[in-house]
Amino acid sequence: MSEAELLFSETSKYLKSEDVNQLKNAYEFGQGAHSGQFRKSGEPYISHPLAVARILGQLRLDAPTLTAALLHDVVEDTHISKAEISERFGQPVAELVDGVSKLDKIEFQTQAEAQAENFRKMLLAMARDVRVILIKLADRLHNMQTLEAMRPEKQRSIARETLEIYAPIAHRLGLNNIYQELLELGFRYSFPMRYKVLVKATKAARGNRREVVGKILEAITAKLHEAGLDAKVSGREKHLYSIYHKMVEKHLTFSEVLDIYGFRVVVKDIPSSYVALGALHALYRPIPGKFKDYIAIPKANGYRSLHNTLLGPFGIPIEIQIRTTEMHRIAENGVASHWLYKNSETNLNDLHMKTNQWLQSLLETLSDTKDSLEFLEHLKIDLFPGDVYVFTPQGKILTLPRGSTVVDFAYAIHSDIGNCCVAAKINGENAPLRSKLKNGDRVEIVTAPYAKPNPSWLGYVATGRARSHIRHFLRTIQYDESVKLGERMLAQALISFHVNPESITATQWEKVVRDYGLKSKEELLADMTLGKQLPAVVAKRLAFPTESEASERIGSDPITIMGTEGLTVQFARCCYPIPGDVIVGLFKKDQGLVIHTHDCTTINHSQKTMDNCLDVTWGKDIAKTFSVKIKAVAVNKHGVLARIAAEIAKVKSNIDDVAMESDNDYTTMRFTLQVKNRYHLAQAMRGLKRLKEVLKISRTRS
Ligand code: MN
């Protein structure tokens, strides 16, 4: 059977025959429109929309969705218009196709802006109709499945976008099967070497595992049977991406990750879930602190299950998930289960309501945020997996992204509460507004009628919702009010440099205002309130004009670190930060802003929370190179250093300095290299790893 015939026969199992006929029409129409177009793989273009429709057919989506899937690239890539689709296939299909079509490229200055604006359009369409994103996800899945045909750079950038945006959206909507496949493919093409190594390693390990898995499976099944439960038990193979992620996140070795065994128990109803949990606790001792009850408190994407880690035979940690059949379906297909299991009951409504709430909050952020790059930033924050569950004084549960603060909580309740919050009690104890919330915290917000949002909140809020409300407020306050606020912020910054705000002369002011290209002191103060200028940077220029001038004369690359124009910027000689590292800036009296990696051990905790510490980000398209230190341990052999140097030269990195220590067998070499960024460094290190004389290679800090 051809792909097209497969689609029609698969969908005829659940669609009416007139709907299947419409699919046939759409297929023929699409084939005509795309005729003469080919994919990078050499196949006729229509094979792609066809595959996308089949993915959605497997989720039993309705006829308009499948029709739109068959036509999804027609408006973008052929001369067919939206109006024509509407005429032939109806308005709903045309709207869906339009939702997944990109905007005209000509409208944008930069690639980043175009990408951000396209996302904005797509998400707007998705908030109106969730089927838009289902088509887009199926589209992306098929593109990822066929990524092999693309150039490596293209593969990497598409893969990265998949990991950053599409996979998290799939996750947020509970489409676990699609999510896992996107992660796996995204990982494979972003880190091809690591992927290959892990594939090989897991293959090798699987044989040994099989026996252990079988034994545990038997024991669990017997125990549940003994408890009178009708349960399906299965061993879970770990996905490569999740192995990789655990290794990186928890600093575990490959075997440590692989030594955790996962099992899933599916039972018929909720009471049985808890009975099963009890039975398994009697079989293997639970490890304290690992139990999570996502049945009582579902995840934001509707996921429900009991999770726990038990101590199995030979001290093997066993992760178990216990859930009902219904929960299992939702866990696999999330919002799509709405179409898959039309007649199944209550939980789906709950899930749908949650999804709608999320889409609604996205819409709100969208309408408050005019800048699409800013919106994309909000979206990434909102999508970041890992939520905390906290309680209102009335016992209502709120789900917030990890890292959320009291202010985020206040805005999550209501924008008025957020705008007027002054303090909070967490679990009955007074807590500052910037406190980060933990699972299970009970949070009570104290408001004052005349309180107003403070721009400094922008420095620590974690949700897009809070951020956009604060920005919105700051934009709408009266000009003179924002000037006053700016004055206070500047005074604080000056005091942290031990400079009396009164001591700044009119001439100093005039010069700085002119440097910024503004007309008045007031304008500059107002800009600070709006977050357009950093108070610390302005304060620095006012208080130490000569230093700032010196740096301007040298012409230090103004875009290396965002928002530091005209400020002396140095890179710390302890941690050697390079683009790609997460960084913080510390103000030093005579050195200006010193950039460290965020985890640099020389900046201690108290410094981090002080006012002179800035969260900074790298600029875009940085042209210069940076010093970085690496350590290589190699076997003592003739010509090793020369080979290492050649390998470094191959990736166009320079060696600034090298120090060596040898004993009888090994030489430890410490290099200072010049690299462009983390990726460049990784290339250099990968090259060295390939040399058989090199035993160990690492980046060193401090
Ligand atoms: Mn497509």
pLDDT given at position 355: 73
Average pLDDT over residues 146-175: 88
Distance in Å, CA 168 to ligand 1 centroid = 19
pLDDT given at position 84: 93
CA-wise closest residue to 235 among 293, 174, 291, 318:
318
CB 437 within 8 A of CB 389: no
Give the whole-angstrom CA distance, residue 234 versus residue 690: 40
Domain 353-464 part of CATH 3.10.290.10: no
Identify the bridge partners of residue 597 per DSSP, sorted by sequence position.
583
pLDDT given at position 17: 92
Under the banding of pLDDT at 50, 70 and 90, the label for residue 558 is: very low
Q: Which of 76, 332, 522, 693 is catalytic?
A: 76
Give the whole-angstrom CA distance, residue 234 versus residue 230: 13
Under the banding of pLDDT at 50, 70 and 90, the label for residue 279 is: very high
pLDDT given at position 216: 92
Instruction: Summarize the chain as % helix, strand, coil (round to 5).
Output: 55, 15, 30
Taking only the tens place, the pLDDT of each residue in 477-490 is 777 777 888 888 88
CB 667 within 8 A of CB 696: no
pLDDT given at position 628: 93
Distance in Å, CA 120 to ligand 1 centroid = 18
User: Could you write out the DSSP letters of every residue in 515-551?
Assistant: HTT-S-HHHHHHHHHTTSS-HHHHHHHHH-HHHHHHH
Under the banding of pLDDT at 50, 70 and 90, the label for residue 604 is: low
Provide the pairing of β-strand 443-447 with 429-431: unpaired
Under the banding of pLDDT at 50, 70 and 90, the label for residue 223 is: very high
CATH number of 195-340: 3.30.460.10
The better pLDDT of the pair 663, 61 is held by: 61
Identify whether 77 is a catalytic site residue: yes
Q: Which of 10, 19, 77, 129 is catalytic?
A: 77
Under the banding of pLDDT at 50, 70 and 90, the label for residue 612 is: low
Residue 432 has pLDDT above 70, yes or no: yes
User: Could you write out the DSSP letters of every residue in 120-169?
Assistant: HHHHHHHHH-THHHHHHHHHHHHHHHTGGGS-HHHHHHHHHHIIIIIHHH
CA-wise closest residue to 185 among 167, 205, 201, 206:
167
Tokens describing residue 603: 């900046």
Tell me which of 18-22, 336-340, 550-554 is least confident: 550-554
pLDDT given at position 371: 66
Tokens describing residue 203: 């293959």
**What's the sign of the alpha-carbon dihedral 106, 110, 114, 120?**
negative
Across the chain, mean pLDDT equals: 82
Residue 693 has pLDDT above 90, yes or no: no
Give the whole-angstrom CA distance, residue 599 versus residue 576: 12
Question: What three-state secondary structure class fits 110?
Answer: coil
* CA 245-247-250 angle, 5° bins: 95
CB 261 within 8 A of CB 235: yes
* CA 635-636-641 angle, 5° bins: 90
Position 169, amino acid: I
Alpha helices in 445-587 (DSSP H): 464-476, 479-496, 506-515, 521-529, 535-543, 545-554
Distance in Å, CA 382 to ligand 1 centroid = 26
CB 673 within 8 A of CB 648: yes
The better pLDDT of the pair 412, 258 is held by: 412
Taking only the tens place, the pLDDT of each residue in 339-391 is 666 555 555 566 667 677 777 777 776 666 666 666 666 666 566 545 677 78
For 655, the enclosing helix (H) or strand (E) is strand 654-662
> What class does CATH assign to 3-190?
mainly alpha
Distance in Å, CA 135 to ligand 1 centroid = 9
> Highest-confidence range of 18-22, 579-583, 618-622, by mean pLDDT?
18-22
Under the banding of pLDDT at 50, 70 and 90, the label for residue 21 is: very high
Measured in degrees and rounded to the nearest 5, phi and psi for residue 313 equal -60, 150
Distance in Å, CA 255 to ligand 1 centroid = 39
CB 600 within 8 A of CB 702: yes
Q: What is the dihedral of CA 458, 450, 438, 274, to 10 degrees?
A: -130
Identify whether 444 is a catalytic site residue: no
Position 653, amino acid: S
Distance in Å, CA 242 to ligand 1 centroid = 27
Average pLDDT over residues 160-184: 88
Give the whole-angstrom CA distance, residue 192 versus residue 413: 44
pLDDT given at position 378: 62
Give the whole-angstrom CA distance, residue 52 versus residue 66: 8
Residue 185 has pLDDT above 50, yes or no: yes
> Highest-confidence range of 378-387, 596-605, 678-687, by mean pLDDT?
678-687
Distance in Å, CA 629 to ligand 1 centroid = 44
Distance in Å, CA 70 to ligand 1 centroid = 9
Average pLDDT over residues 389-401: 78
Taking only the tens place, the pLDDT of each residue in 230-271 is 999 998 877 888 888 888 777 777 877 777 789 999 999 999
* Residues with Cβ–ion distance below 5 A, ligand 1: 73, 139
Give the percent of the chain with pLDDT over 90. 28
Taking only the tens place, the pLDDT of each residue in 505-538 is 888 888 888 888 888 888 888 887 766 677 778 8
User: Could you write out the DSSP letters of every residue in 291-344?
Assistant: -EETTTS--TTS---EEEEEE-GGG-EEEEEEEEHHHHHHHHHGGGHHHHTTT-
- The domain limits of the chain are 3-190, 195-340, 353-464, 479-618, 626-700
Tell me which of 318-332, 383-397, 409-423, 605-619 is least confident: 605-619
CATH for the 626-700 domain, from 3.40.50.720, 3.30.70.260, 3.40.50.10860, 3.30.390.10: 3.30.70.260
Give the percent of the chain with pLDDT over 70. 86
CA-wise closest residue to 375 among 160, 62, 117, 131:
117
pLDDT given at position 129: 80
